[in-house]
Amino acid sequence: MKVGFVGVGKLGKDAAEVMAEHYDVIGYDIAGVYTTITMADTLRQACEDRDIIFVALPTPHHPDYDGRYPTSHLPPKDFDYRILTSAISAIDKFVDSSTLIVLISTVLPGTVRREIAPLIKNGRFIYNPYLISQGSVKH
């Protein structure tokens, strides 16, 4: 099986490295990352001819909600999904109906239904958040 990873950071790196022990894995990340997997130079290279693409991208919170101060008095603010929605739209351009796009970033299910799933026109989509403690993928 040919696997792509878009986002090889805190979540994606360990998951990609473990999968690479058994599968053909290629990763892509806009930041320079040290990893043992093969890294693509472009998003297209990481997505084309892959059976499955795991997406592990950040959904940053508003700076006022970083945990330094109480927030109960502040109005609710959603996470910023622009990085994720932009990447999902781009990934979908490089795949066909045989490609499975798996979102492993933690996003609320309603947000996935409303904002992410409608962006998939060519590939197939699964939402499977990895609810793990960072650094616990490898033993």
Q: Residue 68's pLDDT is what?
A: 86
Q: What DSSP state is assigned to residue 111?
A: H
- Which percentage of the chain shows pLDDT scores above 70? 94
Residues 54 and 15: their CA atoms lie apart, in Å, by 9
Give the pLDDT confidence score for residue 139 in this predicted structure. Answer: 53
Closest to 57 measured CA to CA, from 22, 108, 93, 11: 11
Q: In which band, very low, low, confident or very high, does the pLDDT at 135 lie, cut at 50, 70 and 90?
A: low
Closest residue by Cα to residue 48 from 28, 23, 20: 28
Q: For 34-87, write each residue's pLDDT tens digit.
A: 889 999 999 999 999 999 999 999 888 888 888 888 888 888 888 889 999 999
What is the pTM (predicted TM-score) of this model? 0.89
User: Which has the minimum average pLDDT: 19-23, 53-57, 107-111?
Assistant: 107-111
Domains of the chain plus CATH, in order, are 2-127 (3.40.50.720)
Q: 3-state DSSP: the chain helix, strand, coil percent, rounded to 5?
A: 30, 15, 55
Task: Let me know: does 130 contact 15? Beta carbons within 8 Å.
Answer: yes
Does 136 score more than 60 pLDDT? Answer: no
pLDDT at position 72 = 87
Alpha carbons 61 and 63: distance in angstroms, whole number: 6
Q: Where would I find the H helices in 64-112? A: 82-93, 109-111
E strand or H helix at 15: helix 12-19
